[in-house]
Amino acid sequence: MSVHAPVRELGYLRVIDEEGQVTDSSLLPDITEGHFKQLMERMLFTRLWDERAIKWTRQGKLGFYAPVAGQEAAMIGSEAALTMDDFILPSYRDVPQAVWHGWPLYQAFLYSLGHQHGNQIPEGVNVLPPQIIIGAQIVQAAGVAMAFALRKEKRVALAYIGDGGTSQGDFYEGMNVAGVYRLPLIVLVQNNQFAISVPVEKQTAVKELAKKAEASGMEGIRVDGMDVLAVYQAVQGAVQKAKAGEGPTLIEALTFRYGPHTMSGDDPKRYRTKELEEDWRARDPIIRYRKFLHTKGWWTEEDERKVETKAKDEVQAALDRANQFPAMSMKALASHMYAKMPIELADQLIRQDTKKEVK
């Protein structure tokens, strides 16, 4: 018979409920009306972009794509709490945060299409390319945060990971380094309940993922990941703490992805019930936040239409630009991969060029 030690229940941060009502006015962020509206604009834009990207993927116009609908509050609220000097280390689903942090949308589409220019982040944009390897970005994030600490820069690194990624060895290694050296690192776990098709309870024994922070000697926080204001508040507090030299934070945002894990053949109907999906859709982050803004008189149908038009135009323009970008060549790909070209590969490229000349 196994014996489990008693565990401490963590708090759960929420600012607005499903009806858009403020749970505690003292929890509202101290930001302007314009900033409140910007959160809505970016969430709505992201939802519309996601819908278009899913259609394009099915039509073969995009390559790899991981849907984001349902997780907009966790994504937009967290990025909004940063300054542009802070650094984002995304996983494969975290393209919206990277784009809102400066990564050009057309390059995000090129990334989806497998074009090397997609990952050539512009100078001054503090984002790394989305990490496909599960959990690997946490180690990199600890390194970025350590660089900030050594340089005595008031900057933070924010790394994103899913619930399943918290079971990876890289996750624990990066967290441990951050805890030992009190690095200015924030790790945001977007707990969307399923690591692809595996529910949380089948891939980790801990009931609250934020408790994994304790093993690294850092603070763990749980937030309503469908509440953009709760996510904003949690990340803003972690940023302030990190820049004050008070160490790293692990934030667990409880959220839900409405669509498949990726558009590469996953069918969520095989492992999720209709009732579960309906329950989470009733907590929709955009509907909830729209209700909140309506009570304040800060959002109108005209505001909604403007965002819809902007999203339609800008997303289409980004795809058009991506399609017009010069195709990759094997020579360019290899030259970016190696500082010194291997002899065997150089010979192959010479033979390839010779064949083209003969033709």
Q: Catalytic residue positions?
A: 257, 261, 271
| pLDDT of 143 higher than 90 | yes
| pLDDT of 357 higher than 60 | no
Delineate the domains of the chain, giving CATH numbers in brackets: 25-328 (3.40.50.970), 329-359 (no CATH)
| pLDDT of 49 higher than 60 | yes
Phi, psi at 185, each rounded to 5°:
-120, 140
| pLDDT of 136 higher than 50 | yes
| pLDDT of 3 higher than 70 | no
How confident is residue 6, by pLDDT bands cut at 50, 70 and 90?
A: very low
The whole-chain average pLDDT of the chain stands at: 93
% pLDDT > 70, the chain: 95
Of the listed ranges 282-286, 321-325, 354-358, the one predicted with least confidence: 354-358
| pLDDT of 7 higher than 70 | no
Q: How large is the C-alpha radius of gyration of the chain?
A: 22
Q: Are 186 and 235 in contact (CB under 8 A)?
A: yes
How confident is residue 92, by pLDDT bands cut at 50, 70 and 90?
A: very high
| pLDDT of 5 higher than 70 | no
* Residue whose entry in the numeric block shows the structure tokens 């972690």: 238
Of 132, 206, 146, nearest to 174 by C-alpha is: 146
Q: Are 69 and 258 in contact (CB under 8 A)?
A: yes
Write the single-letter amino acid at 345: L
> Mean pLDDT, to the nearest integer, of 147-155?
98
> Mean pLDDT, to the nearest integer, of 117-126?
95
How confident is residue 356, by pLDDT bands cut at 50, 70 and 90?
A: low
The predicted structure's pLDDT at residue 10: 61
Tokens of residue 306, six digits:
């403007």
The predicted structure's pLDDT at residue 358: 44
Write the single-letter amino acid at 230: A
Phi-psi region of 12 (alpha: psi -120 to 50; beta: other; left: phi over 0): beta
